Amino acid sequence: MQCCALEIEDVPTFTRGKKFQLDDVIEAQQFDRDTLSAIFEVAREMENIEKKSPGSQILKGYLMATLFYEPSTRTRLSFESAMKRLGGEVLTTENAREFSSAAKGETLEDTIRTVEGYTDIIVMRHFESGAAKRAAATAGIPIINAGDGPGQHPTQALLDVYTVEREIGKLDGIRVGLVGDLANGRTVRSLAYLLAKYQDVKIYFVSPDVVKMKDDIKDYLTSRGVEWEESADLMEVASKCDVVYQTRIQRERFGERIDLYEEARGKYIVDKDVLKVMQKHAVVMHPLPRLDEITVDVDADPRAAYFRQAKNGLYIRMALLKLLLVGW
């Protein structure tokens, strides 16, 4: 399992101007600061649109296919809701693996060329790293990567950065504590990567020894002039940060070593005590689902931003669908 977060660098997929046009959403790295800012502007409009009844008809007559080679109900629902909130229609496929099943053996490219005949945009989830890029190379219609293997889940990265901006009001000068499984979590890796596009950012890594942030991201941050430090003191970090970004320790990463898992898992919990030291304007984020790495009594605090963060996923996806299908 390899992460390719650093392959591409700041290659804007569109030129701003009269005709703002996004072609595909494949990797978090494809977005530069201007693109992010433009997407966030549209996402903000979407917040207003979503609140209105009977709902927008911006994408009326458009059809989106969710081509999921592995199930991900959460992600699929938020994309389908986004499309329908804009008046568009959806074709759902949760067992797209069937296309390439043993007996049949169709290539991804052939599947894409067939499915693109039935729809205007494809939202794809695949088990193989790079599948979305291959699909985009084949398709004449826009492709959105809804996760392809371990490396990429760009709409999650976008909604995370959008949430920081919405909650704190800025991205330049932000202080973020990344907590939990920093070795395996693609969310924290992508977030660190995208935050490096902003000025005067400081990042704190707080994680059990077995799941520390890898050197590639640290080196990258250094090369971009982003300050970072590792810390074993969650309380101190929490007191200094604008954002405490907690993540789940994933049991499946530990194999037989349940003992190591249990040790790692209990080490940094965001609870009422952490809230006490946090600043008034700061927030707690989490990509969800959570187990007990944030205690339930934190939920009622206005600084618990993780359900708002999940909701922001809807706005970001609405914005991307609009930009890909009808443009700026």
Active-site residues, by number, are: 74-75, 104, 125, 153
Distance from C-alpha of 155 to C-alpha of 146, rounded to nearest angstrom: 7
Distance from C-alpha of 111 to C-alpha of 279, rounded to nearest angstrom: 51
Chosen residue from 35, 119, 152, 247 binding a copy of itself by CB under 8 A: 119
CB atoms within 10 A of CB 161: 25
Residues 269-288 that bind a copy of itself (CB under 8 A): 288
Q: Does 91 bind a copy of itself (CB under 8 A)?
A: yes
Q: Does 60 bind a copy of itself (CB under 8 A)?
A: yes
Q: How far is the CB of 102 from a copy of itself (least distance, A)?
A: 8
Q: How far is the CB of 225 from a copy of itself (least distance, A)?
A: 36
Q: Does 310 bind a copy of itself (CB under 8 A)?
A: yes
The answer to whether 148 and 215 have CB atoms below 8 angstroms apart is no
Q: Does 314 bind a copy of itself (CB under 8 A)?
A: yes
Please report the beta strands in the chain, taking only residues with DSSP state E, as ranges in sequence order.
63-68, 89-93, 121-126, 143-148, 175-179, 202-206, 227-230, 243-246, 283-285
Angle between helices 131-138 and 108-115 (to 10 degrees): 50
Residues 235-274 that bind a copy of itself (CB under 8 A): 250-252
Distance from C-alpha of 86 to C-alpha of 48, rounded to nearest angstrom: 12
Q: Does 1 bind a copy of itself (CB under 8 A)?
A: no
Candidates 60-68, 214-222, 260-268, 277-285: pick the segment binding a copy of itself (CB under 8 A).
60-68
Chosen residue from 11, 137, 232, 291 binding a copy of itself by CB under 8 A: 291
Of 38 and 65, CB closest to a copy of itself: 65
Phi, psi of 57 (to 5 degrees): -120, 25
Of 178 and 314, CB closest to a copy of itself: 314
